[in-house]
Chain A
């Protein structure tokens, strides 16, 4: 790892000032992506700004609009928090599939979403649930947040403070897990908001996206069989040692079916 200066601000303004005053700064949350990347010398920031002292990035709250989850909430906190298990069980279940226990004890929801890894799990939830990313200066709709491989709508000095999720009547997530890392080769989150269906896909393309074609078919007929007739084109999908683009397109369909089967077996909350 190259050398850097370490800072641990205790207020948001202080964090932003430190960022603006440094040559090539980076924010540090759980470090479960950043530290391995720095160890491999793929990232070489001059200044590391540790967010863990910022209380405004913490906490979980329920409101009329849904659940608001602080950026620093760890994957294991999401997996086990009573409010999340009760009101948004799909998110708790998703978080429990991330990596391994040690990673879930450190990694954060804000870090995962800011990172936009094409195989990360939370992006499927942000898109599939139609969530919102809140930063120190604005709210960004989940649909507009992921731009490309490791690229998001965040400006350089913009911090995610919390993620807001509306509560669906029912929702389910299915994932084809990479056996070595736990990451999603493909993952699909299907949500039902009073008949309005959203499908968020991760792992297939350069960043998470909605499957609008599938959503439209499901809004006509919310059944697993309908998916047999849907074409999923593989154009633009990733091809790597784990799976070809063609296989990923196949998985989109299979995993959407699995998520939908699970969703249909749930009692409709409304």
Chain B
């Protein structure tokens, strides 16, 4: 079937089967490979993108479900010479090692600071429940997000 999907403020027309996941369309049809697939159980959060402004796991959403929605991926929040403040914070705080979890972490972190009040380190950790990182031990990720909270 043919659907229109709005990703990073551009409407794309794609021809897909109904059983195609959103993450597959992003990666394979639109070549936006920032959203990663890290698990088969909807638990790792590496595929996190924004759907109408809220963080969702794009491996657990069908592409046909988002035909009327706005999708934003890691590619849509900043540019190499004009990073999103959360991206800058991750870089400054050395909040990544291999980087596999990072796009999902950043998209979830933005949802967190946008929708939660009074964030402290403990609440930030809780807010990252749906994002797994195998490298960093989370400490610097929490510091990066905390620094963005402190600036806003």
Contacts and interface: CB of A to CB of B under 8 A. Distances in A.
Interface string B36-72: 0000111101001001001111011110110000000
A38 B19 CA distance: 9
Given A35-B61, A39-B40, A182-B129, A102 B19 contact: no
Contacts of A105: 51, 54-56, 111
B62 A106 contact: no
Contact of B18 (A5, A76, A99, A181): A5
B112 interface: yes
A11 interface: no
Given A3-B19, A6-B18, A105-B55, A36 B60 contact: yes
Contacts of B51: 105
Contacts of B65: 28, 31, 50, 52
Interface residues of B, number: 29
Contacts of B59: 39
Most chain A C-beta atoms within 10 Å of own C-beta, residue among B40, B51, B127, B130: B130
A102 B55 CA distance: 5
B63 to A, nearest CB: 10
A35 B54 contact: no
Contact of A6 (B42, B60, B64): B64
A101 B62 contact: no
Contacts of A35: 21, 42, 60-62
A32 B60 CA distance: 7
A2 B19 contact: yes
B127 to A, nearest CB: 6
Most chain B C-beta atoms within 10 Å of own C-beta, residue among A2, A100, A103, A181: A100
A99 B62 contact: no
Contact of A101 (B1, B43, B111): B111
Nearest to B47: A102
Interface in A10-51: 28, 31-32, 35-36, 38-40, 48, 50
Contacts of B54: 76, 105
A4 B19 contact: yes
A235 interface: no
Contacts of B62: 6, 31, 35, 48
Contact of B130 (A2, A28, A48, A99): A99
Nearest to B40: A39
Interface of A: 1-6, 8, 28, 31-32, 35-36, 38-40, 48, 50, 52, 76, 99-103, 105-106, 180-182
Interface of B: 1, 17-19, 21, 40-43, 45, 48, 51, 54-57, 59-62, 64-65, 108, 111-112, 127, 129-131
Given A35-B42, A35-B60, 7 more contacts: A4-B19, A35-B21, A35-B61, A36-B42, A39-B59, A102-B45, A106-B56
12 contacts: A1-B19, A31-B65, A50-B64, A99-B129, A99-B130, A101-B108, A101-B111, A102-B130, A103-B57, A106-B57, A106-B61, A180-B43
